[in-house]
Amino acid sequence: MSVEHNKANEKRLYDEVYNKGNLSLIPELVSPDFVSGNNKGHEGYRQMVIAWRAAMPDIRFTIDEMVGEGDKLVYRLSGTGTGVSSLGGVDITGKKMSWTQAIFTEYKDGKVAKGVNFMDTLSLFRQAGVVPPAFAQAQEANKALVRRYFDEVLNKGNAALLDELMAEYYVMVRANGEIDNQGREGNKKMFAQTRASVPDLHVNIDEMLADGDKVVVSGNWEGTHTGLIGGIPPTGKRFKYGYTATYRVVEGKIVSGKIVADQMSMYQQLGVSPPALTQNQEANKALVRRFFEMANHVKGDVSRLQALVKELIAPEYVVHTPSGDWTLEQTLQMWNMVFTAFPDMNEKIEDILAEGDRVVTRSTATGTHKGAFQGMPPSGKTFRMSEVVVFRVAGGKLVEEWPLLDQLGMLQQLGAIPSVPSK
Amino acid sequence: MSIEQNKALARRIVEAFNKKDASTLADLFGPDFVGHTVGKDLTFEEFQKNMIALVHAFPDYAMTIEDLIAEDDKFVARWTLTGTHKGEFMGIPASGKRIDVSAITIRRVAGGKCVEGWDIRDNLKMMQQLGAVPSGPPK
């Protein structure tokens, strides 16, 4: 049989059988060996037509384009209809439906013997105003995931759970559209800082909605201002402010979050002015100023040094000195030694500037040599030393430092090195 | 001038230093430039003399920018200075020794030129590398 015959046969199936309900034509147009999914033979075909016509009695199919070769026939099909009952388990009553399909068929002895149907079932569900069962399940799972994030991570402080709940390349979108792409690890640090500043943090959920891969949550953040927030030193006051957050969940992990929060009312409750537009840079500068302020206050008191470290310095702190990198532990040993040798040590910031995550200070250090320093017995001499330090800030803490000090000048002032280099 | 333009100026200065291109350099600094080095303030002429002395002492002198940070009218360059000691420097005769030291420079920019600067170089390490001061803590 020719391709042209097959095309005419297929067209009759839609014009007569589907569109007009003339089921008696089926044995003439369909092979007794017909297979399409679970539908087999003439009876299988009949059931397919009945299902469509029962759901939409005014159903109308139009073949838009048809290509044939040998015993194969492929075509694009448009359908429209008004729902009166359900289709595939979904109630479409009263809905005007339209859809497209692509159908691959094989012919045998001039009759259709095999059909494979591709159609946009999701669009049918959408038109019916219902969510397909699989999607509904996924949405509930996404909500449960976000709820765990709030209950376990935000409220109970289980940051390790982020590995399970959050994608490595998590992206946070701020209310102003600014993107923070420090990823899951960056989020962990930010979160640790938040919990350090607000140890009694509680985030409640008033409402939670899921749509597709998005989960929208709203409620309140509340807690006590116990550490630096936005560069503002602790006030000890309680705050409570509303937020709305939209999370996107892909393959069981939160991949992005857009958070809009009424932080302005938090600052009002704390009785402080909110940081200016260049919020982060100014906050970073404030952090570094606090570092100098606290360092000047140490005066050889180890507990004050510990308080400084706890509030301002990340555990992974690295100081890139001219003689190699120091860990936090090595840095602390050095600071202890310096604070013991020069108990009146004072550092005055002459200039401070910030860009991105860097803060630069130009400062003058002064002190009196009252304890052993690098093998030198106390001399009672004073020194005045210029310093420039580049700091890197992440997650509200100092994480890295590149100091440059005029050590040569200092050692010369202490009499350890002659003032004029040897000839 | 945007902070990006100021950073571009910093890169041009380093390029000119590395090429020993004195006329380009002179063009990138304002005539009233003041350089606050440790201990004293330098005019542009004095600053230039220091640079010439450095190039004379270390003919293969090279600066590498490690970090560049800018805000408002200032930029900060954290850089490394390398070179071989082939001429007299700060009273120390040529030793053939290599130096590799860190420095941080802050520059204020006005009208597209550097007008003020604050510099700190790790002179202690430099003197140690040149063998003029013992390495490690003084005993």
Domain containing residue B30: CATH number:
3.10.450.50
- Asked if the model's pLDDT at residue A71 lies above 80, the reply is yes
CA gap A167, A190 in Å, rounded = 16
Give how many domains chain B has, as a whole number: 1
Among A353, A386, A411, beta carbon nearest to B138: A411
pLDDT of res. A133: 65
Confidence of residue A420 (pLDDT cuts 50, 70, 90): low
**CA count, 13 A, side-chain hemisphere, A198:** 24
Give me the mean pLDDT over the A161-187 stretch: 82
SS3 category, A308: helix
Asked if the structure places residue B47 within a domain, the reply is yes
Sign of the Cα pseudo-torsion (A197, A202, A206, A211, in order): positive
- Range scoring the smallest mean pLDDT among A280-284, A409-413, B75-79, B107-111: A280-284
Is there a common fold for A3-127 and A133-270? yes
Length of chain B: 139
A353 touches chain B (CB under 8 A): yes
For the segment B9-19, the average pLDDT, to the nearest whole number, is: 92
Closest-CA residue of chain B to A377: B139
Comparing A43 with A172, which gets the higher pLDDT? A43
At residue A190, the pLDDT reads 82
- Mean pLDDT value across residues A309-318: 92
What is the strand order of the sheet A358-368 is part of? A324-327, A313-321, A397-405, A382-394, A358-368, A346-355
- The pTM assigned to this predicted structure is 0.49
A364-376 mean pLDDT: 91
Second-level CATH architecture of A279-413: Roll (3.10)
In a domain, residue B135? The reply is no
> A349 — contact with chain B (CB < 8 Å)?
no
Q: Is the pLDDT of residue B94 over 70?
A: yes
Q: What is the mean pLDDT of residues B46-61?
A: 89
Judge whether A90 and A96 are in contact, CB under 8 Å. no
Q: pLDDT by residue (tens digit) across A320-331? A: 987 789 999 999
Cα–Cα distance for residue pair B93/B56, rounded to 1 Å: 12
Residues forming beta bridges with residue A79, ordered by sequence position: A61, A99
Q: In whole angstroms, what is the distance from residue A195 CA to residue A185 CA?
A: 15
Sheet with B74-84, side-by-side order of all strands: B40-43, B29-37, B113-121, B98-110, B74-84, B62-71
Confidence (pLDDT) at A181? 66
Class of domain A133-270: alpha beta
Q: Pick one of 3.90.1300.10, 3.30.420.40, 3.10.450.50, 3.40.50.300 as the CATH number of A3-127.
A: 3.10.450.50
The tens digit of pLDDT for each residue in B120-131 reads 888 888 888 998
Contact B86, B57 (CB under 8 A): yes
The reply to whether residue A351 touches residue B103, judged by beta carbons under 8 angstroms, is no
* Domain coverage including residue B65: 3-129
**Would you list the domain boundaries of chain A?**
3-127, 133-270, 279-413
Per-residue pLDDT, A275: 62
Question: Is B87 domain-assigned?
Answer: yes
pLDDT bracket for residue A279 (50, 70, 90): low
**Residue B134 domain flag:** no
Of residues B67, B118, B123, nearest to A408 (C-beta): B123
When mean pLDDT is compared over A6-15, A129-138, A237-246, A289-298, the highest value belongs to A6-15
Is the pLDDT reported for residue A141 higher than 70?
yes
Q: Residue A277's pLDDT is what?
A: 40
Query: Where would I find the H helices in A85-220?
Result: 121-127, 133-148, 162-165, 183-197
Other C-beta atoms closer than 10 Å to the C-beta of A233 total 13
The total of other beta-carbon atoms located within 10 Å of residue A287's CB is 21
CA–CA dist A419, A408 (Å, integer): 9
Q: Is B30 part of any domain?
A: yes
Tell me whether residues A376 and B92 touch, CB distance under 8 A: no
Q: Determine the Cα–Cα distance for residues A396 and A189; give it in Å rounded to an integer.
A: 8
> Would an 8 Å CB–CB cutoff place B40 in contact with chain A?
no
Q: Flag if B69 and A390 touch (Cβ within 8 Å).
A: yes
Indicate the pLDDT class of residue A423, thresholds 50, 70 and 90. very low
